[in-house]
């Protein structure tokens, strides 16, 4: 009955979404639409959450009478992976997607203070239209509660590469980011319908964009680290189409985050902000289409059914096409808002937006062009790291150069010299350039410039805090400084990994010693081991650096359901980087060992954590400011 209860909850939620949409479409009800839609949105969110809870219970119990559970679980799987396996497949991940969407609509309905009623009614109508399409997709093409009769004796298991703690956190955080952008999209649609685009809209939209951006940052960073330690190839980013599917909405959300700040603070960039809100959610939809259309083969891709991909493509065309048509109709009446000088904070943010948009266009074309060529001609093309590194790298460096100066400019017009403020960054950059030329003359130009600009951005990030009372400095300013510092730290990590990594591939016998970078690796032994649903060959490596010794145990695992061989890497982390070890195949008395020394690679994820922390601090600060503003207005009215 649990499966039937979950399905019934989904049907009821879809019916409520239809009613919520209908209320917003009736002109006579427009003034009261928000009042009627609020309880509908709340009930819809609760019902969808209940449906998702039912699916979790089915996976945890390994109820093999449910087709989805039988195809993606196994009774021998550890509890954590039975739980996380709920969203490790197409239907379950889609239900999670819809659950986040419905809960976002419910939160918007109950915590939407300050939004004009007519705009909120139109916004909740747009949110209901989005939800309705995805309910239809679930109920008509991807039912997660379909039964099997008779039920199989045992399930088929879960892809072993997904049996990792990272799976428990990576997809939910990404979906919170993807779907949170749907609220920004719906707010933009609501504002265009009611012709009310201004600072009030921006202040309502900004927390959703900030929250989505934080979750996307965490999700992308977690996915990058998961790929780094789980896939065994030693890299942290491959420009895989599925990786790009999460990067594209992050780039659009980053541009939107800066644009909406200008609209909230100065009333400028009105039409541009509306367009970015549409583009950001469109990129989320594009990512959803890519991983569910069957056009990609990847451990991240959930579906290989073009019919379901066609359904999502139709939703994408309806939602994005409809929003763009509305934008084209109403944009002339919206206007650009307050004007500003080219040399100003707003001017720097516009340039920031343009660079981010160009990078987004480059990634979009590089991701979809090979797929379009293959669909049209059958010819397979590959656009990989050489293209992206060569095009995106220089643009990202220009963006960093802008980060050094932009936050120091004044709003509207900047006329004072910046020499005093830029001097520390200039000195840090020149010193780094000289050091890399002397100590590492052979590294690539892109890596060298990355190190120079990364180091130069460290003091520049902290400059907005200089000369202030730190206790009275707004949290939003703290958040900006921390996030920009995170960008600097990440870029230093990326450039260091690219410039200074050392790799050694060897066929070694137990008892031999190998050297890579500053590490000495003693290959002690190879022994068989067993886990809950796998067996493995495990190497024991005694690794030493600077007199300290530790033991690493990389494994070559074999899973029986489904039959899969994986490499479980072993990593030694030091203050200055990581030693990364992989055990390969046996050849006679020798074993393949792949060793990497990766200096300062951990800064990549430390920087990502700082970026997310900066966004979180800013979100808290904005929320506190908005609350204080509302309280003052209420007191003034009294």
- In the block, tokens 């379009």 appear at 372
Average pLDDT (390-406) is: 94
Digit-coded pLDDT (tens) for 172-230: 899 899 888 999 999 999 999 998 899 899 999 999 999 999 999 999 999 999 889 98
Digit-coded pLDDT (tens) for 468-481: 888 889 999 999 99
Digit-coded pLDDT (tens) for 258-278: 999 889 888 888 999 999 999
Which pLDDT belongs to residue 154?
86
CA dist., res. 620 & res. 614, Å (int): 10
Among 166-180, 369-383, 590-604, the minimum mean pLDDT is found in 369-383
Residue 577 has pLDDT above 60, yes or no: yes
Residue 525 has pLDDT above 90, yes or no: yes
Which pLDDT belongs to residue 634?
67
User: Averaging pLDDT over each range in 38-42, 236-240, 306-310, 466-470, which range is the top one?
Assistant: 38-42
Which pLDDT belongs to residue 625?
77
Percent with pLDDT over 70 in the chain: 96
Contact 206, 311 (CB under 8 A): no
In whole numbers, what is the pLDDT of the chain averaged over residues? 90
Per-residue confidence band for 631, with pLDDT thresholds at 50, 70 and 90: confident
Digit-coded pLDDT (tens) for 281-331: 999 998 888 877 666 555 555 555 667 778 888 998 999 999 999 999 988
Which pLDDT belongs to residue 352?
94
- Cα 312 → chain centroid: 20
CA dist., res. 53 & res. 7, Å (int): 11
Which pLDDT belongs to residue 302?
54
Residue 34 has pLDDT above 70, yes or no: yes
Average pLDDT (1-23) is: 95
Which pLDDT belongs to residue 538?
96
Per-residue confidence band for 600, with pLDDT thresholds at 50, 70 and 90: very high
The number of CA neighbours under 13 Å toward the Cβ of 582 is 20
Question: ∠ CA(440), CA(446), CA(447), 5° rounding?
Answer: 40
Counting Cβ atoms within 10 Å, is residue 609 exposed (0-12), middle (13-18) or buried (19+)? middle
CA dist., res. 136 & res. 143, Å (int): 10
Residue 512 has pLDDT above 70, yes or no: yes
Which pLDDT belongs to residue 295?
62
Which pLDDT belongs to residue 293?
65
Digit-coded pLDDT (tens) for 338-374: 778 888 988 999 999 999 999 999 999 998 888 788 7
Per-residue confidence band for 438, with pLDDT thresholds at 50, 70 and 90: very high
Per-residue confidence band for 335, with pLDDT thresholds at 50, 70 and 90: confident
CA dist., res. 485 & res. 213, Å (int): 16
- Select from 405, 498, 503, 499 the least CA-distant residue to 456: 405
Residues sharing a CB contact under 8 Å with residue 607, sequence separation 6 or more, in sequence order: 486, 487, 488, 489, 490, 491, 492, 493
Which pLDDT belongs to residue 638?
61
Per-residue confidence band for 74, with pLDDT thresholds at 50, 70 and 90: confident
489 phi and psi, to 5 degrees?
-65, -45
Digit-coded pLDDT (tens) for 416-427: 777 888 999 999
- Select from 475, 471, 495 the least CA-distant residue to 483: 475
* String of DSSP letters for 533-560: SEEEEEEEEEEEETTEEEEE--EEEEEE
Digit-coded pLDDT (tens) for 601-616: 999 999 999 999 999 9
Length of the chain: 638
Average pLDDT (25-36) is: 79
Residue 599 pairs with which residues in a beta bridge? 577
Counting Cβ atoms within 10 Å, is residue 584 exposed (0-12), middle (13-18) or buried (19+)? middle
Average pLDDT (73-90) is: 86
Which pLDDT belongs to residue 296?
59
- Whether this model's pTM surpasses 0.85: yes
């Amino acid at each position: 009955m649990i499966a039937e209860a979950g399905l019934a909850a989904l049907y009821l939620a879809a019916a409520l979404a239809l009613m919520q949409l209908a209320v917003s479409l009736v002109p006579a009800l427009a003034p009261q639409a928000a009042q009627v839609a609020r309880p509908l949105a709340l009930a819809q969110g609760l019902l969808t959450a209940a449906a998702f809870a039912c699916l979790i219970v089915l996976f945890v119990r390994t109820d093999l009478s449910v087709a989805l559970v039988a195809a993606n679980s196994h009774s021998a799987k550890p509890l954590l992976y039975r739980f996380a396996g709920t969203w490790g497949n197409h239907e379950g991940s889609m239900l999670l997607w819809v659950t986040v969407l419905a809960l976002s609509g419910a939160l918007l309905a109950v915590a939407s203070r300050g939004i004009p009623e007519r705009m909120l009614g139109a916004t909740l109508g747009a949110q209901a239209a989005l939800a309705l399409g995805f309910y239809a997709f679930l109920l008509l093409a991807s039912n997660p509660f379909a039964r099997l009769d008779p039920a199989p004796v045992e399930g088929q298991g879960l892809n072993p590469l997904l049996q990792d703690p990272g799976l428990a956190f990576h997809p939910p955080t990404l979906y919170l980011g993807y779907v949170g952008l749907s609220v920004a999209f719906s707010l933009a649609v609501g504002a265009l319908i009611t012709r009310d685009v201004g600072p009030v809209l921006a202040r309502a939209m900004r927390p959703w964009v900030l929250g989505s951006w934080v979750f996307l940052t965490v999700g992308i960073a977690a996915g990058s680290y998961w790929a780094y330690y789980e896939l065994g190839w030693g890299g942290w980013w491959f420009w895989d189409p599925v990786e790009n599917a999460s990067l594209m909405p992050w780039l659009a959300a980053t541009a939107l985050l800066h644009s909406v700040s200008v609209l909230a603070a100065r009333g400028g960039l009105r039409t541009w902000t509306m367009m970015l809100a549409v583009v950001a959610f469109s990129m989320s939809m594009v990512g959803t289409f890519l991983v569910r259309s069957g056009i990609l083969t990847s451990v991240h891709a959930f579906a290989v059914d073009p019919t379901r991909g066609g359904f999502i493509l139709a939703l994408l065309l309806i939602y994005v096409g409809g929003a763009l048509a509305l934008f084209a109709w109403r944009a002339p009446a919206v206007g650009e808002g307050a004007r500003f000088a080219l040399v100003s904070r707003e001017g720097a943010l516009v340039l920031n937006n343009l660079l981010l948009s160009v990078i987004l266009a480059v990634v979009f074309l590089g991701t979809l062009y090979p797929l379009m060529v293959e669909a049209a001609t059958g010819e397979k093309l590959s656009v990989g790291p050489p293209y992206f590194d060569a095009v995106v790298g220089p643009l990202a460096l220009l963006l960093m150069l802008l980060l050094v100066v932009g936050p120091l400019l004044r709003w509207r017009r900047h006329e004072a010299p910046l020499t005093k403020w830029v001097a520390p960054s200039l000195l840090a950059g020149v010193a780094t350039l000289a050091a890399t030329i002397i100590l590492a003359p052979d590294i690539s130009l892109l890596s060298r410039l990355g190190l120079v600009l990364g180091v130069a951005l460290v003091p520049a990030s902290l400059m907005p805090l200089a000369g202030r009372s730190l206790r009275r400095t707004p949290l939003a300013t703290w958040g900006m400084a921390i996030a920009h510092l995170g960008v600097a730290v990440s870029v230093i990590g990326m450039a260091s990994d690219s410039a200074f990594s050392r790799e050694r591939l060897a066929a070694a016998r137990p008892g031999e010693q190998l050297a890579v970078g500053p590490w000495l690796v003693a290959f002690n032994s190879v022994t068989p081991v067993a886990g809950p649903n796998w067996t493995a060959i495990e190497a024991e490596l005694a690794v030493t650096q600077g007199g300290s010794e530790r033991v690493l145990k990389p494994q070559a695992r074999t899973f029986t359901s489904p039959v899969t061989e994986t490499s479980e890497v072993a990593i030694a982390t030091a203050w200055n980087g990581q030693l990364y070890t992989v055990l390969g195949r046996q050849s006679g008395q020798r074993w393949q060992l792949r060793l990497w020394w990766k200096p300062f690679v951990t800064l990549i994820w430390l920087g990502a954590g700082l970026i997310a922390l900066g966004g979180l601090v800013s979100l808290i600060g904005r929320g506190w400011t908005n609350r204080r503003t509302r309280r003052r207005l209420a007191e003034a009215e009294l």
